[in-house]
Amino acid sequence: MSTSTRNRVAGVLLVLAALAAGRFLDENLPAGGDSLRPYDRHGLVQMAVPTRWADVEAVRVSGAPQVIDRDTLAVSPGLWVVVEVNATPHVDPFTIGWAELRGGDGRTYSRGRGSLLCSATNPGLTAGCVVTIEAAPESLPGSSIALSGNAMDQRADDMAVIDLGITQEVVDHWLTLTDPLEVPLPVTGGQP
C-alpha cells in the first residue's frame, strides 16, 4: 500500500472516529434547555430543603383576600398567600432572592404586587424571609412555592420547591376571612 493510500485510509478512519465521538456526546450530554434548567429540590412545609446555596424551610403558610404589608392595605380579587421562610446560607452572605408560586392547576404567579422581604445574614446564620404573592383561589390547592438564591437568573442552579399543603378546604376558609392578614416582618435568626 502506498503512502498516499495509507494517508487517505487514516483520514477516513479519523473522520469516522470523530463522527462516532460526536454521536456519543450528543446522546449522553443534556440537550437544549435541559442543561440550563434549575435543579428542583422538593420538600414540604416545616421540612428543611438542602440546596447548594442554603438550607431552606417554609415554616408557616397563611392567606386572605386582604393583607396589611408594611402598613399598606392590599386587597385582592383573589387571595394573598403569605409564606414565612427560614434560609441558612452555606457560603455567601445572601439569602432568598427570587420566588414564584406554582399553582396546582399549572399556572405560575410571580410576586407582582406582592413582596419578598428577608433579614440580612451571613453563612451559617439563619435569615427569616416573608413572601407575599397574589393568586387565583382555584390555583391554590396543590400549589408550591419555588425559591432561589439568585434574583436575576435561576438557570442551572438549585431551587427549593416546597409543597404548601394548601387544600380546597383551606382556600374556602381563607375566602371567608374579612379582617386583613398582617404580613409579618422578616426576623434575623429565623421566623419564629
DSSP 13-72: HHHHHHHHHHHHHHHHSPPGGGGGS-EEEEEETTS-EE-SSEEEEEEEEEEEEEEEETTE
Interatomic CA distance for residues 39 and 45, integer angstroms: 19
Range in 3-12, 54-63, 168-177 with the lowest mean pLDDT: 3-12
Rounded average pLDDT over 17-38: 66
60-65: average pLDDT: 98
Question: pLDDT-derived band of residue 156, with 50, 70 and 90 as boundaries?
Answer: low
Q: What is the CA radius of gyration of the chain?
A: 24
Measure the CA–CA gap between 94 and 129, rounded to whole angstroms: 12
Q: What is the rounded distance in angstroms from the CA atom of residue 8 to the CA atom of residue 16?
A: 12
Which cell numbers in the block locate residue 21? 465521538
pTM (two decimals): 0.79
Who's near 23: CB < 8 A, 6+ residues apart? Answer: none
CA atoms within 13 A on the CB side of 57: 14
Looking at residues 79-84, what average pLDDT do you find?
98
- From the number of C-beta atoms within 10 Å of its C-beta (0-12, 13-18, 19+), residue 161 rates as buried
Of the chain, the percentage scoring pLDDT greater than 90 comes to: 59
The CA distance from 183 to 177, in Å, is 15
